[in-house]
A and B are shown apart, each in its own frame.
Chain A
Amino acid sequence: MKPDGGLERDLRPIEEIDPAIHAPARLMILAYLSVIDSADFTFLLNQTGLTRGNLSSHIGKLEDAGYVKVKKEFVERIPRTLYRLTTSGRKAIARYKENMQQVLEELLD
C-alpha cells in the first residue's frame, strides 16, 4: 500500500464498476443487444448459450436496472417480445468500459 493512500485512490474505479453489468452473462446479453436493433428471447438464447432460466433471470435484472427495454408486438397474431438496449444501457456500457480500462491499467502498471 502506498503511504499516501495512493492505492485506494487509484483503484477507486473498482467501486464504480456497475454490478448489473459486471456478471459475464449480463455483459454478453448487453454486448449482443448493443450491436443489433432488437432481438427476441430465442435469439438471445441461441447467441449467448445460456439456459432459459438463466437468461430470463439476467434479462430481468437488466430490466430492473433500466438497461433493457421490453417491447411486445404481434406477428401473424403470434405475440413476440423484443428486447432493446436503452440509452442508459448504452451509457452504462461505455462507463463500464472506462472503469474497467482504468482498473486494469492501474493493476497492470
Chain B
Amino acid sequence: MKEKQAFDRLRRRAYLEYHQDGVLDILIGLCVIGFGLNMLTDSSALSILSWMPIIFYVPLKNRITVPRFGFARFDSDRSRSVRVSKGILSGVLMLGLLIGVYVFTVGDKMPPAFEVFLQKYHMLVLGGLASLAFVGAAAVTGLKRLYAYAALMLTLIIVGIEFGIRTPYYVIAIGSIMLLTGLWLLIRFLQNHPVIADGTHEA
C-alpha cells in the first residue's frame, strides 16, 4: 500500500510539473478575454476568434514545454480518474446544450418566471456551467488552480450581478486574471527549465 502511494506521488509530481508551464492558463485566459470583448463589441469576427487560442495548445506545448521539460505520456495509470472527469465534463456540456435547446425551441412561450430568471441571471447559468467544466478539468488534470478559477469565476459573476457591473467587464477581468497567472507560471517555468539541446538519445 505504502509502495503504491509512493509510486502515485511520483507520478503525480511528474504530471503536475509537466503542466506548470502556464500554457493552458494563458490560452483559456485569452479565450475568456475574447469572449468578453465579443460581448463588449458585439463583433461576429471576435466570436469566432475567441475560441482560436485553444488550437495553439499542442503546438505551444511542443515548442515551449517539450524542449525544456521533455515529453511523457501519463494516460495509462490515470484511466479511472480520466473516465470520471470526462463524465463530469460531458454532463456539463449536455446540461448546457439542453438549456440552449430549451431556450431556443420554447422561445416566447417560455414561462415568465424562467424568462425573468434567465434575463437577470444568464451569466450565472453560463458561469456555473463554465465553473463545473473547470472542476471537471481540475479532476482530470489534478491542477488545483483550476478549482480556484471555478471559484473565482462564480465569485466575480455574483459580485458583478450584485453591484450591477456590465457583464463584459467582469468576464474580461476573469480572463485577465487567468492570463496573468499563466504568464507568471510561464516566466517561472522558463527560468527553472532552460532548453536542453538535443534531448534525443539515440540508442
Contacts and interface: CB of A to CB of B under 8 A. Distances in A.
B62 A45 contact: no
A36 B10 CA distance: 9
Interface string B181-203: 00000000000010010011111
Main secondary structure on chain A at its contact with chain B?
Answer: helix
Given A31-B7, A35-B14, A46-B193, A40 B70 contact: yes
Contacts of A75: 62
A80 interface: yes
Contact of B71 (A35, A43, A70): A43
Interface in A12-71: 31-32, 34-47, 55-56, 59-60, 63, 70
A39 B73 contact: yes
Interface string B1-39: 001000110110010000000000000000000000000
Interface in B71-110: 71-77
Main secondary structure on chain B at its contact with chain A?
Answer: helix
Interface size class on chain A is: 20 to 34
Interface centre among B7, B14, B72 (most CB of A within 10 A): B72
A81 interface: yes
Interface of B: 3, 7-8, 10-11, 14, 59, 62, 66-77, 193, 196, 199-203
B114 to A, nearest CB: 47
A79 interface: yes
A41 B199 contact: yes
A76 B75 contact: no
Interface centre among A40, A59, A97 (most CB of B within 10 A): A40
Contact of B3 (A43, A46, A97): A97
B203 A81 contact: yes
Interface of A: 31-32, 34-47, 55-56, 59-60, 63, 70, 75-76, 79-82, 97
Contact of A41 (B3, B10, B14, B70): B70
A60 B201 CA distance: 10
Given A40-B200, A43-B14, A56-B201, 4 more contacts: A35-B14, A36-B11, A39-B71, A45-B70
